[in-house]
């Protein structure tokens, strides 16, 4: 299975790893089938994602996807972040093998899940996330 240099680079040297103690939004998504669990922490000020950290347990593609996703959303407004799709994450990594595309989907869902958490905690309505439910089934 071939990985792009960017995937390898983000896997071996992931950005924004860790957690944010007093995060404004935390999202956790997982896929029991392949054992990937992703946790995303957001710090939001004036509608802007000022800081983001993640913890991912999973394969290299899952870690690379989370890492790239955090890079894509840092410093952006919630509206901009909502437009970032799993395809954008995969493209930023110069592509993922088809069997690993679900990792980029998880990254997108982790972000949305964290934003939804922020929305519920802060009372800031995010229209687009009203009906958001992660697609993967959760088994904690």
* Better pLDDT: 94 or 133: 94
pTM: 0.92
pLDDT tier for residue 139 given thresholds of 50, 70 and 90: very low
- The per-residue pLDDT for range 67-77, each reduced to its tens digit, is 999 999 999 99
Mean pLDDT across the chain:
93
**Catalytic residue (choose from 17, 20, 34, 124):** 34
The yes-or-no answer on residue 59 being catalytic is no
Distance of CA 27 to the CA centre of its chain: 8
User: CA dist 113 to 7, 18, 48, 98, Å?
Assistant: 23, 17, 16, 24
CATH architecture of 5-121: Alpha-Beta Complex (3.90)
Please report, for the chain, the start and end positions of each structural domain, with discontinuous segments joined by +: 5-121
Which of the residues 103, 106, 107, 110 is marked catalytic? Answer: 103
Q: Is the pLDDT of residue 82 over 90?
A: yes
Residue 135: band (very low, low, confident or very high) from pLDDT cuts 50, 70, 90: confident
What pLDDT, in 10s, does the model give residues 43-68?
999 999 999 999 999 999 999 999 99
């Amino acid at each position: 299975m071939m990985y792009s240099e960017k995937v390898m680079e983000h896997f071996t040297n992931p950005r924004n790893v860790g957690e944010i103690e007093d995060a404004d939004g935390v999202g956790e998504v997982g896929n029991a089938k392949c054992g990937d669990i992703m946790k995303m922490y957001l710090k939001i000020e004036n509608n802007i994602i000022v800081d983001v950290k993640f913890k991912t347990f999973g394969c290299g593609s899952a870690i690379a996807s989370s890492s790239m996703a955090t890079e894509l959303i840092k410093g952006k407004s919630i509206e901009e972040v909502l437009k970032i799709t799993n395809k954008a994450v995969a493209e930023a990594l110069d592509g993922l093998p088809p069997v690993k595309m679900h990792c980029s989907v998880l990254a997108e869902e982790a972000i949305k899940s964290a934003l939804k958490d922020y929305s519920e905690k802060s009372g800031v309505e995010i229209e687009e996330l009203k009906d958001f439910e992660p697609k993967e089934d959760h088994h904690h």
